[in-house]
Amino acid sequence: MARRGSGEAMRGINMTPLIDIIFQLMIFFIFTVKAEENMMSENIVLALAPHGKTIEKKDPLEIRVEVDSEGKIRINRSLLSTNVFSSIIAKAVTECKGDLPVVIMADGKVQHKFVRKVMDICSSKGVWKLKLMALKGTD
């Protein structure tokens, strides 16, 4: 056993580092969950799809793309030009070896031409797993 400076025998294990690590992990997971909840911009109002299929499990590779009512493209609340979006998708497809799912979260009032532009960019870069997100409302 280790001895303290006063000559007493130290009893047990020092739990302070373990408690510090546990608190740091708790803080990390709390912030991660909060960040996941706030991934979508407040200015996106999804369309209702009461008869749509509910997705039970999120694919960890998926990219969520927002298209607001003005046709602006965002990923993780960051505004992107079509050129930057195109290069991001191309790089992601290369890294995922072509198996990249993209979820389009379009505002319910957006013109279809803006959603189509996002879909065209994705398909031109080799993305074939496209999903449109909507809210599952009641009848």
pLDDT at 115: 93
On the CB side of 41, CA atoms within 13 Å amount to: 19
CATH number of the domain where residue 108 is located:
3.30.420.270
More confident position, 7 or 131? 131
| Residue 78, pLDDT above cutoff 60 | yes
More confident position, 34 or 118? 118
In a domain, 90, yes or no: yes
In a domain, 76, yes or no: yes
Task: Give me the domain span that covers residue 120.
Answer: 63-132
The structure tokens 């999804």 sit at 46
In a domain, 8, yes or no: no
C-beta atoms surrounding 133 within 10 Å = 18
Give the model confidence (pLDDT) of 18-58 as tens digits.
888 887 887 777 666 555 545 556 676 666 666 677 767 77
More confident position, 111 or 55? 111
In a domain, 89, yes or no: yes
C-beta atoms surrounding 63 within 10 Å = 20
How many independent structural domains does the chain possess?
1
